[in-house]
Chain A
């Protein structure tokens, strides 16, 4: 069981807007930044969103992140077939002395 909770699956049709949620607690999301990673099939993860809502260079503005309290969301607008991937949220956790925590991942299917 992951410290951060994500729905195991999500889906949408091309052009739609989908959101993926990530729920945590006061020691992680509630007091630290949230990061989102995209993992395309058979590849290494890639940073998609950092510091809750910032996009690294090269990430399309179709991807956006938000945070409120102890929850965060990733939104993908104008869904494309190439967005089909696993998405993970992550955050530092003040209650741990370790590196941080990931969510369990959400598999996004483009129908």
Chain B
């Protein structure tokens, strides 16, 4: 069974850096073709892709957020970490991680339960 779970702070102040961790089980990020992606959803709004990392360390970022995002993986710990700098109240959202595949790049499943991050002073 494949599971993913997001963890990190629930509240960050404007201008701070957000660090989120996705801890997964049931697959390995050393397996060819496998990847993990981050997606966020502001309250009452649509989904937005943020970043992806694949087994070969290939990384993709949302063009609009690329300067603020960094995605890394720790294969031995089965974790993927996303950092987002210079947080703003508009970044308040539920942040999800999900399994994806290099050869099926629109596939995101399963998803973690999500973690709500609020940006406020």
Question: Which residues on A are within 8 Å of B, measured CB to CB?
Answer: 2, 32-35, 37, 44-47, 50-51, 56, 88, 90-92, 96-105
Contact = CB atoms under 8 A, between A and B. Distances in A.
Given A51-B104, A92-B105, A99-B61, A104 B46 contact: yes
B108 A47 contact: yes
B48 interface: yes
B66 interface: yes
B93 interface: no
The 7 closest A-B pairs by CB, nearest first: A47-B109, A35-B106, A99-B49, A44-B111, A98-B62, A102-B47, A105-B46
Interface of B: 37, 39, 46-52, 60-64, 66, 96, 104-114
B114 A102 contact: no
A96 B39 CA distance: 16
Given A90-B49, A99-B51, 19 more contacts: A32-B106, A33-B106, A35-B106, A35-B108, A44-B96, A45-B39, A46-B109, A46-B111, A50-B106, A88-B46, A91-B106, A97-B63, A98-B49, A98-B60, A98-B61, A99-B61, A100-B105, A100-B106, A102-B48
